[in-house]
A and B are shown apart, each in its own frame.
Chain A
Amino acid sequence: MAASLSSPLTSASSVLFSSSNYPSLPSFSPSQRLCFSHSALSSSYSVSPALFTFPSPRLSATAAVSFSVRAATASGEKKKVLIVNTNSGGHSIIGFYFAKELLGSGHNVTILTVGEEGSDKMKKPPFNRFSEIVSAGGRTVWGDPPEIGKVLAGETFDVVLDNNGKDLDAVRPVADWAKETGAKQFLFISSAGIYLPTEEPPHVEGDAVKGSAGHVGVEKYMAETFSNWASFRPQYMIGSGNNKDCEEWFFDRIVRNRPVPIPGSGMQLTNISHAKDLSSMLTLAVEKPEAASGNIFNSVSERAVTLDGMAKLCAKAAGLPVEIVHYDPKAIGVDAKKAFPFRNMHFYAEPRAAKEILGWQGTTNLPEDLKERFEEYVKIGRDKKTMAFELDDKILEALKVPAAV
């Protein structure tokens, strides 16, 4: 039923307390509540996550885990990290922010972007800002995953992140090469889209996933291949340097005084996180490898937002009014996937594993973040750009709503 992953019981992080032991070791246990080895779960002893004192929001994430046992692996060591990055799509931004954050923390970073440096794809953000990675001391290279051994001949890394493949075919060459060259930690950007729909949100780590999903195949392979691996399941992201529209979709309509057509009731909850929440989570995993090992992390912010709510927040950030119009895509004969950038259903995960196991805390603050995003939107002149809204017009026509508010 649940396509849950067994963490190898031999890994250091899989020490689950048998019912006869009082948890005197603070190490890795609470993760097991979310990690899926069935025999480990047969212990009826409720492992107390209070071992990790939950800080008030004012305290820093690292202060949350204040145990001396952890000191050797906590932020002291500098790592050599390889990021294999996709060359397009919503996940592109992850590698960009992660590289910069690692560099800021003093780690050594190489980012291998799929394809060619000269391709048209590289003219779009975040790729057209890769000079920022270089000036921060990072290295940028290009190539294809099956050629990784050639592109990075003779190199070894402590940590390899695959932020490119959506299935095992795409990731295997990278994973195998990482293993051969002795990478100690393998990380993968998966997707929260693999969770099976549920009537009891949110999606939490350990919930059933779609067995056929390519990412699931990768997660299984990682667990078999590496003694230290972690998978990160993101949803939607905002942030400067984003390759794929998110909030822009709302701004486009709001600044042009057009109604915002939202399918369904508008009550659907989703998770829209600032990319820096993802980079901070990934960085924590690099700096706390034993804690992170064998775990899946929902890489999302701490709050979900409704679709209507997102429209309202975008309008507020723009200082403009908004008219939201709801419609039934089937009744109108419109493909909601083309007409609207978010899933027409609750798509809502929570970052419980990261909070509990890594002591991570989110900083996404949509009301504030969207103000910054709107400033940039205007700065680049997108508010003045001529745009067509064919699908919107079709929807509004069917609903007999005027196109200009």
Chain B
Amino acid sequence: MARMVPLQQQTTHPGFSLLTSSLSDFNGARLHSQLQFKRKMGLQNRGALQVSASSSSKNILIMGGTRFIGIFLSRLLVKEGHQVTLFTRGKAPIAQQLPGESDQDFADFSSKILHLKGDRKDSDFVKTSLSAKGFNVVYDINGREAVEVEPIIEALPNLEQFVYCSSAGVYLKSDLLPHSEVDAVDPKSRHKGKLETESFLESTGVNWTSIRPVYIYGPLNYNPVEEWFFHRLKAGRPIPIPNSGIQMTQLGHVKDLAKAFITVLGNEKASKEVFNISGEKYVTFDGLARACAKAGGFPEPELVHYNPKEYDFGKKKAFPFRDQHFFASIDKAKHVLGWKPEFDLVEGLTDSYELDFGRGTFRKEADFSTDDIILGKSLVTA
């Protein structure tokens, strides 16, 4: 497959990629794109990041930021020279050293990252604390409902940009795919809060951008996406997959997503626009199982297909993906923003494995109870 080789592949260090995609429009005169270009050249030497005098350092607030996307996004923003504050309840440490992150980089980051401690559901607190700080830009990574965004908008009348992490889950299920930003959305979906937030933002007149990821993966993922497969592969267990296994889904690496979030910062082409952000290619459930095996250096797994209707799993989820086709076109982001994913699927899963599961870390303990129900029955009927 002909593909651009991501810069980080040229070193053996599995660490965090500082690549920013080049933003350019034809005239190339925009300050921001020039900054990106200079930085990109500087990035050949990892860590030797120079922030040119022409950069405009912004006062940025991230709602959340200590769990997954925000961990990578905040680092990119700090590296770009912005002042970055994380609004969290303080349950998790504000800065934790990433696997593969050098002591030097971590020390730099943790010395610069700021914390605003609070509960975003306390709208009075949100309003007063935010207006006191006067942030230029807000990245809302963990917002689910429109009401959570109201006090932010009220608190910051001069807000330059509000970037929202929405979800491709808002799209109405369709037989015609991929989902594109212009497609019908489902006002009854599980993600309707995201939709309502997007509509709310539109109604306020603020300069908003909405990012709709599909399934996100990468080191430190707290959603058991790749982890679900890795547990089974490590245990040498067959992988139970519902129905045909040809359902098509799409994974996007968290680092590519973080880069997309950076790419929209101060970008007028992103103003009041929605962008699907995920990987270049889609993958079938069966293909994903095999890709995870490749990534972790496991032998090709045995796949067991089953009819979910024949089982009662109680409240447990037997499989981490929606049992349907679910994928979105990233053409708009590629064409309008000049962003593109650096990781292809196996590369990205390998990155996740080498920095996380492969080091013995994971978020959820293995739970094979639903597998055993399936495998037990399928052995009987075989």
Contact = CB atoms under 8 A, between A and B. Distances in A.
Interface of A: 1-2, 4, 19, 22-24, 26, 33-36, 38, 41-42, 44-46, 48-54, 57, 67, 199-202, 204, 206-208, 264-265, 267-269, 302-306, 308-310, 312-313, 346, 350, 352, 355-356, 366
A330 to B, nearest CB: 15
B358 interface: no
Contact of B248 (A48, A346, A355): A346
B344 to A, nearest CB: 8
Given A54-B332, A355-B331, 15 more contacts: A23-B28, A42-B5, A44-B6, A45-B40, A49-B334, A50-B23, A50-B24, A50-B336, A199-B284, A269-B177, A269-B248, A303-B177, A304-B176, A305-B175, A355-B335
Contacts of A51: 24-26, 338
A308 B174 CA distance: 11
A202 B182 CA distance: 20
Interface of B: 1-7, 10, 21-26, 28, 37, 40-41, 175-178, 180, 182, 243-244, 246-248, 269, 280-284, 286-287, 290-291, 325, 329, 331-332, 334-338, 340, 345
A267 B331 contact: no
A86 to B, nearest CB: 29
24 contacts: A1-B1, A19-B41, A33-B4, A41-B3, A44-B7, A46-B338, A48-B338, A50-B269, A50-B336, A51-B338, A54-B331, A201-B283, A206-B3, A265-B243, A265-B246, A267-B244, A302-B180, A304-B178, A346-B248, A346-B284, A352-B331, A355-B331, A355-B335, A366-B176
A356 B24 CA distance: 15
Contacts of B280: 204
A199 B175 CA distance: 19
A304 B178 CA distance: 7
Contacts of B286: 199
Given A54-B336, A269-B248, A45 B22 contact: yes
Nearest to A306: B175
Contacts, number: 139
A402 to B, nearest CB: 23
B325 A267 contact: yes
A2 B244 contact: no
A200 B281 contact: yes
Contacts of A49: 334-335, 338, 340
Contact of B28 (A22, A41, A312, A366): A22
A44 B5 contact: yes
Contact of B335 (A45, A54, A313): A54
Contacts of A23: 24, 28
Most buried by A among B7, B246, B283, B291: B246
A331 B352 CA distance: 41
B291 A199 contact: yes
A152 B307 CA distance: 62
A50 B246 contact: no
Contacts of B22: 45-46, 48
Given A2-B1, A26-B26, A313-B175, A53 B283 contact: no
Contact of A356 (B175, B246, B335): B335
A52 B335 contact: yes
Contacts of A355: 331, 335
Contacts of A41: 2-5
A306 B1 CA distance: 25
Contacts of B21: 46, 48
A17 B244 CA distance: 44
A346 B325 CA distance: 12
A344 B91 CA distance: 51
Contacts of B290: 199
B282 A265 contact: no
A303 B176 contact: yes
Contact of A206 (B2, B24, B244): B2
Contacts of A67: 26
A26 B331 CA distance: 19
Contacts of B331: 54, 352, 355
A35 B269 CA distance: 27
Is the contact region of chain B dominated by helix, strand, or loop, or is it mixed?
loop
A303 B183 CA distance: 11
Contacts of B41: 19
B179 to A, nearest CB: 10
B335 A199 contact: no
A67 B27 CA distance: 10
Nearest to A24: B28
Most buried by A among B5, B6, B175, B340: B175
Given A265-B244, A309-B176, A312-B175, A53 B325 contact: no
B1 A208 contact: yes
A202 B24 contact: no
Given A44-B4, A265-B244, A50 B175 contact: no
Contacts of A42: 5
A256 to B, nearest CB: 23
Given A36-B2, A46-B22, A51-B24, A199 B287 contact: yes
Contacts of A302: 180, 329
A33 B342 CA distance: 13
A309 B336 CA distance: 31
Contacts of B40: 45
B246 A268 contact: yes
A201 B175 contact: no
> What are the 5 tightest A-B residue pairs by CB atom distance, in nearest-first order?
A309-B175, A199-B287, A54-B335, A50-B338, A48-B338
Contacts of B178: 303-304, 350
A274 B282 CA distance: 24
A54 B286 CA distance: 34
Contacts of A366: 176
Nearest to A34: B2
Contact of A2 (B2, B7, B25, B180): B2
A22 B25 CA distance: 11
A312 B282 CA distance: 24
Contact of B282 (A24, A44, A200, A308): A200
Contacts of A312: 175
Contacts of A204: 280-281
Contacts of B25: 50-51, 53
Contacts of B26: 26, 51, 53, 67
A310 B337 CA distance: 34
B261 to A, nearest CB: 17
B259 to A, nearest CB: 10
A48 B291 CA distance: 28
A185 B281 CA distance: 32
Contacts of B329: 302, 350
Contacts of A310: 175
Contacts of B37: 22
A201 B332 contact: no
B41 to A, nearest CB: 8
Contacts of A303: 176-178
